[in-house]
Amino acid sequence: SLPKEQWAQVVEKTGGPVVYKKIPVPKPGPDEVLVNIKYSGVCHTDLHAMQGDWPLATKLPLVGGHEGAGVVVARGELVDDVEIGDHAGVKWLNGSCLHCDFCMQSDEPLCPKPLLSGYTVDGTFQEYCIAKAAHIARIPKNLPLDAIAPVLCAGITVYKGLKESGAKPGQWVAIVGAGGGLGSLAQQYAKAMGIRIIAIDTGDDKKEMCLNSLGAEHFIDFATSKNVVKDVQAATPDGLGPHAVILVAVNEKPFQQAAEYVRPRGTVICIGLPAGAYLRAPVFESVIKMISIKGSYVGNRKDSAEAIDFFARGLIKAPFKVVGLSELGMVYDKMHKGQIAGRYVLDTTK
Ligand code: 8ID
Ligand code: ZN
């Protein structure tokens, strides 16, 4: 039997703070499951949501979180392909209509009526979370639920972004924001895909992590480099720049720089979502270099399953620190200051 109450981190008003308190355990609807979240990663999106950074309102009060890994403990009467006891992941895309033009083409992140975990519906910063059965990620039982949690948003998103970039084995990708949550996973996926890495971020901790454990061949410190554009181009053997750029920084500047250093015919993939930021690229160089600039937004169910499968095959090892759910406020402080190398993962029992 399930408890009636549970611990959760609740945003009561836009701007925060998060309040650690007891709230009722929700009941799943007919097409939903209830997942006992064991671990949840903390994504910068959760901080954007609390701060009200984006032109899309959140529900209030809000339980954030969308990298939740746990165990299915209840299901609605229409759910017959998920068993109680199965391991499942609650992703950013909590649900979608499944019958619009986009859902029918497996572009369900583009559904005009999405349910977003930790944004428009309560997310994974609680012990028991609801998700649409059709959209939960299936997690093999032999995988550790703490390490897999960051894959459920960061991993899926960067894997999809790398695919969208068209970068091929042996080619070069610049990962901008390489020392953060998405950036550290992006390096591991790129490495597993045979793509060579130029990491861009700042600080000795992140430099050491990128070069010694994540697979980067070059690290460029954006805070100390005298000319990021020249340094990025010089990092490729012929000096013509990387074939792709994956932008996961929470800062406008690199979104206005990437088009300058990407290789002719190259692709700039925008993933990070700094508040109020604009893309900028010189028309002349963009035309004569034939560059592409694209957005990339999470991934579909198949991308999710593939991203988990890379992890299951032992190809993805990104650093993470586990702290209690009660410590989310501390994690947000560090994230706001750009002081997190890798990902924080919350243990919902603490
Ligand atoms: O589907 C999507 N598009 C999607 C999915 C998930 C997350 C988008 N996101 C967005 C988040 O909302 C956030 O805006 O991706 C962004 C990155 O999320 P994160 O990886 O969770 O953030 P982080 O761990 O704080 O890492 C950000 C890194 O960027 C570096 C920081 O030092 C940090 O390591 N950075 C910054 I701020 N400015 C930089 C710069 N100019 C920079 N790195 C290089 N150059
Ligand atoms: Zn996320």
ipTM reported for the complex surpasses 0.90: yes
Collect contacts of 319-322 with beta carbons under 8 A, ≥24 apart: 319/184, 319/209, 319/213, 319/343, 320/41, 320/146, 320/147, 320/149, 320/150, 320/344, 320/345, 321/345, 322/39, 322/146, 322/346, 322/347
* pLDDT value of residue 1: 84
Nearest CA to ligand 1 atom 22: 44
* pLDDT value of residue 2: 94
The total number of structural domains in the chain stands at 2
- Among residues 271, 295, 319, the one where a domain terminates is 295
Q: Are residues 92 and 207 in the same domain?
A: no
Nearest CA to ligand 1 atom 30: 177
Q: Are residues 37 and 175 in the same domain?
A: no
Each residue's pLDDT tens digit, 111-123: 999 999 999 999 9
Cα 32 to middle of ligand 1, angstroms: 31
Each residue's pLDDT tens digit, 259-298: 999 999 999 999 999 999 999 999 999 999 999 999 999 9
Query: What's the rounded mean pLDDT across residues 89-101?
Result: 98
Q: Are residues 263 and 186 in the same domain?
A: yes
Q: Which residues line ligand 1 (CB under 6 A)?
A: 43-45, 48, 153, 157, 176-177, 179-183, 200-202, 222, 248-251, 253-254, 271-273, 296-298, 335, 338, 340
Residue 161, pLDDT above cutoff 90:
yes
Kindly state the tokens that stand for 70: 């746990």
Helices 301-312, 181-192: crossing angle, 10 deg rounding? 70
Query: What's the rounded mean pLDDT across residues 138-165?
Result: 98
The residue type at 5: E
Report the CATH number that the domain containing residue 83 is assigned in CATH.
3.90.180.10
Ligand nearest to the CA of 153: 2
Q: Are residues 140 and 186 in the same domain?
A: no
Q: Are residues 249 and 270 in the same domain?
A: yes
Residue 346, pLDDT above cutoff 90:
yes
Q: Are residues 238 and 320 in the same domain?
A: no
Each residue's pLDDT tens digit, 13-33: 999 999 999 999 999 999 999
What are the residues whose beta carbon lies below 5 Å from ligand 2 (ion)?
43, 45, 153
Ligand nearest to the CA of 181: 1
Report the percentage of the chain scoring pLDDT > 90. 100
Ligand nearest to the CA of 252: 1
Ligand 1 nearest-atom number relative to CA 42: 21
* pLDDT value of residue 134: 97
Each residue's pLDDT tens digit, 302-321: 999 999 999 999 999 999 99
Nearest CA to ligand 1 atom 7: 45
CB 142 within 8 A of CB 313: no
Q: Mean pLDDT over all residues of the chain?
A: 98
Instruction: Report the DSSP pairing between strands 115-116 and 93-95.
Output: antiparallel
CB 174 within 8 A of CB 217: no
Q: Are residues 59 and 107 in the same domain?
A: yes
Cα 177 to middle of ligand 1, angstroms: 5
Q: Are residues 119 and 159 in the same domain?
A: no
Report the percentage of the chain scoring pLDDT > 70. 100
What's the CA gap between 61 and 254, in Å, rounded?
34
Taking every pair of Cα atoms in the chain, the longest distance, rounded to a whole number of angstroms, is 65
Which of the four pLDDT bands, split at 50, 70 and 90, describes residue 184? very high
Q: Are residues 183 and 307 in the same domain?
A: no
Q: Are residues 146 and 211 in the same domain?
A: no
- Report helix, strand and coil shares of the chain as percent, to nearest 5: 30, 25, 45
Distant-in-sequence, close-in-space partners of 333: CB < 8 Å, separation ≥ 6: none
Structural domain of 119: 5-152+299-347
- Among residues 295, 310, 332, the one where a domain terminates is 295
Residue 25 is classified by DSSP as: P
Report the CATH number that the domain containing residue 168 is assigned in CATH.
3.40.50.720
* pLDDT value of residue 349: 98
* pLDDT value of residue 31: 98
Probe ligand 1: pick from 40, 43, 110, 117, max atoms within 8 Å of CB?
43
Q: Are residues 131 and 164 in the same domain?
A: no
Cα 270 to middle of ligand 1, angstroms: 11
Ligand 1 nearest-atom number relative to CA 203: 32
Residue 252, pLDDT above cutoff 90:
yes
* pLDDT value of residue 74: 98
Query: What's the rounded mean pLDDT across residues 131-148?
Result: 98
Nearest CA to ligand 1 atom 23: 180
Distant-in-sequence, close-in-space partners of 225: CB < 8 Å, separation ≥ 6: 231
Q: Are residues 61 and 146 in the same domain?
A: yes
CB 261 within 8 A of CB 229: yes
Residue 330, pLDDT above cutoff 90:
yes
pTM over 0.90: yes
